[in-house]
Chain A
Amino acid sequence: MNESSSRPRSIDRAVTELARLPGIGPKTAQRLTYHLLRSSGDQVLVLAEALRNLKEGVVTCSVCFNMSDRNPCHICESPDRDHAVICVVENLLDLVAIERTARFRGVYHVLHGAISPMDGIGPDELRIRELVQRAKDTSATEVILATNPNLEGDATATYIARLFEGSDIAVTRLARGLPVGGDLEYADEVTLGNALAGRSSA
Chain B
Amino acid sequence: MILRRLQLQHFRNYRRLDLSLEEGVTVLYGSNGAGKTNILEAVFALATTKSFRARTDRELIDRRFEPLDGPFPFARLSGEADTARGTLSVEMIIGLDGATDAPVLRKRFRLDGTARKAVDVVGRLKAVLFSPVDVDIVTGSPSLRRRFVDLMLCQVDSSYLRLLQSYTRVVQQRNAALSRFGARMPAQQLDFWDQRLMADGSEIIGRRLEMMEWLGPCAAEMYMRLSGGGEAFAIEYVSSLGEIEGLNADVQNLFSQRLRALGTKGLEQRLTLVGPHRDDLSMTLDGVPLPSFGSRGQHRTAALAMRMAEAAYILHRTGERPIMLLDEALGELDDRRRDHLLDFTASHPQVLLTGTTADLFPQDFRRRGALIHVEGGAIAA
A and B form one complex: yes
Interface residue? B105 (CB, 8 A)? no
Interface residue? A200 (CB, 8 A)? no
Using Cβ atoms and an 8 Å threshold, which residues of chain A touch B98?
24-28
Binds A, one of B185-193, B317-325, B329-337, B346-354: B185-193
Using Cβ atoms and an 8 Å threshold, which residues of chain B touch A177?
none
CA distance A2 to B72 in the complex (A): 12
Using Cβ atoms and an 8 Å threshold, which residues of chain B touch A19?
101
**When A2-B70, A117-B180, A155-B192 are in contact, do A20 and B101 touch as well, CB less than 8 Å?**
yes
Interface residue? A41 (CB, 8 A)? no
Contact B192 A158 (CB under 8 A): yes
Instruction: Give the dominant DSSP class at A's interface.
Output: helix
Interface residue? A22 (CB, 8 A)? yes
Min distance, Cβ B40 to any Cβ of chain A, angstroms:
32
Interface residue? A23 (CB, 8 A)? yes
Min distance, Cβ B330 to any Cβ of chain A, angstroms:
43
Using Cβ atoms and an 8 Å threshold, which residues of chain B touch A118?
172-173, 176
Which residues of B (165-209) have their CB < 8 Å from a CB of A? 166, 169-170, 172-174, 176-177, 180, 188-189, 191-193, 195-196
**When A151-B169, A151-B170 are in contact, do A159 and B192 touch as well, CB less than 8 Å?**
yes
CA distance A159 to B173 in the complex (A): 15
Instruction: Give the dominant DSSP class at B's interface.
Output: helix
Interface residue? A46 (CB, 8 A)? no
Q: Interface residue tally of chain B, by bracket?
A: 20 to 34
Residue of B nearest to A157 (CB): B192
Using Cβ atoms and an 8 Å threshold, which residues of chain B touch A117?
173-174, 176-177, 180
Contact B173 A1 (CB under 8 A): no
Contact of A154 among B97, B180, B191, B192 (CB under 8 A): B192
Chain A 1-22 against B: per-residue CB contact (8 Å), 1 yes, 0 no?
Answer: 1100000000000000001101
Given contact pairs A25-B103, A118-B172, A154-B196, a sample of 20 additional A-B residue pairs in the complex whose CB atoms are under 8 Å apart: A1-B69, A2-B70, A19-B101, A20-B101, A22-B100, A22-B101, A25-B98, A25-B99, A26-B98, A27-B72, A28-B98, A115-B189, A117-B176, A118-B173, A118-B176, A151-B173, A151-B196, A155-B173, A158-B191, A159-B188
- Nearest first, the 7 A-B pairs at minimum CB distance are A25-B98, A117-B176, A117-B177, A118-B176, A158-B192, A155-B192, A27-B98
